[in-house]
Amino acid sequence: MNVIIIEDEKPAARRLSRMLSELAVNVTKMLHSVEESIAWFSTNEHPDLIFLDIQLSDGLSFEIFDKLEVKSAIIFTTAYDEYALQAFKLNSIDYLLKPIDDEDLEKAVKKYQDFAPKKDQISIDFNDIKKLLVNPLEREFKKRFTAKVGQHLKIINADEVECFFSENKGTYAATTDGRNYLLDTTLENLENEISPKQFFRVSRKFYVNIDHIKDIISYTNSRLQIKMNSFKEQEIIVSRERVKDFKLWLE
């Protein structure tokens, strides 16, 4: 299996390469920009599988495919939870959210190996996916949630949620009144239910509401710490892999 990685952050590319080697998958090339990728694809045999970061330092990676036709299977890697990820499921082998988890990576590789498409059978509509990324589909997001409190159902408005977080296999909504409510859902399910303009997944454990961020502080290892107006029970840290995307989201 001939595999390459297209990822602008070199430490992240090296980490992914190491993770793949532990799965007995050999990475033959790592590319780091749109320009470098176009030059490489123009003069080399295309690989069986590409691990493709969406946002590269010099533009969206889809610009590569505006210039040339690539007949490779693709596993997208992205920190952008707010993108219309269902498009990737329809058009590619899989997608992986950063920071990439060992188990998720193993499942994606196995999915590819089981599917094993021939290059002349791969058809990915990059234009359709790009449209979804640049102009995400307008859709209604949940404005209210319910939580069971004793024998009662508590109605929680999305605007009142400072953050969603996971703890002990449960998913909670922390509200502006300083209370935490257990929800009958998961952070993964929330991905398609809450507005990406209002909420951002800063780590595997937390979504934060931009309207209730009190302070943002530099933290160790190039990370950021977030202080909310009311929620003070745990530290909320933006994982290093998501710092760049978090800063873009703030704008």
Q: What is the pLDDT of residue 146?
A: 94
Residues 185, 156: contact at Cβ < 8 Å?
A: no
Q: Which residues neighbour 58 within 8 Å (Cβ) at sequence distance 6 or greater?
A: 33, 34, 35
Q: What is the pLDDT of residue 139?
A: 54
Structure tokens at 158: 């999305």
Q: DSSP per residue over the chain, as a string? A: --EEEE-S-HHHHHHHHHHHHTTT--EEEEE-SHHHHHHHHHHSPPPSEEEEESEETTEETTHHHHHS----EEEEEES-TTS-THHHHHHSSEEEESSPPHHHHHHHHHHHHHH---GGG----HHHHHHHHHSPPP-----EEEEEETTEEEEEEGGGEEEEEEETTEEEEEETTS-EEEESS-HHHHTTTS-TTTEEE-SSSEEEEGGGEEEEEE-GGG-EEEEESS--SS-EEE-GGGHHHHHHHH-
Taking alpha carbons only, the member of 244, 214, 224 closest to residue 79 is 244
Residues 91, 62: contact at Cβ < 8 Å?
A: no
Q: 149 or 128, which is more confident?
A: 149
Residue-wise pLDDT tens digits, 173-224: 999 999 999 999 999 888 878 988 899 999 999 999 999 999 999 999 889 9
Q: How far apart are CA 95 and CA 86, in angstroms?
A: 10
Strand partners, 107: none
Q: How many residues does the chain have?
A: 251
Average pLDDT over residues 12-24: 94
- Compute the mean pLDDT over every residue in the chain, rounded to the nearest whole number: 85
Q: How far apart are CA 30 and CA 71, in angstroms?
A: 18
Q: What is the pTM of this model?
A: 0.53
Whether residue 82 has pLDDT greater than 50: no
Q: What is the pLDDT of residue 161?
A: 97
Q: What is the pLDDT of residue 64?
A: 87
Q: What is the pLDDT of residue 188?
A: 87
Q: What is the pLDDT of residue 31?
A: 96
182: how many CB neighbours lie within 10 A of its CB? Answer: 13
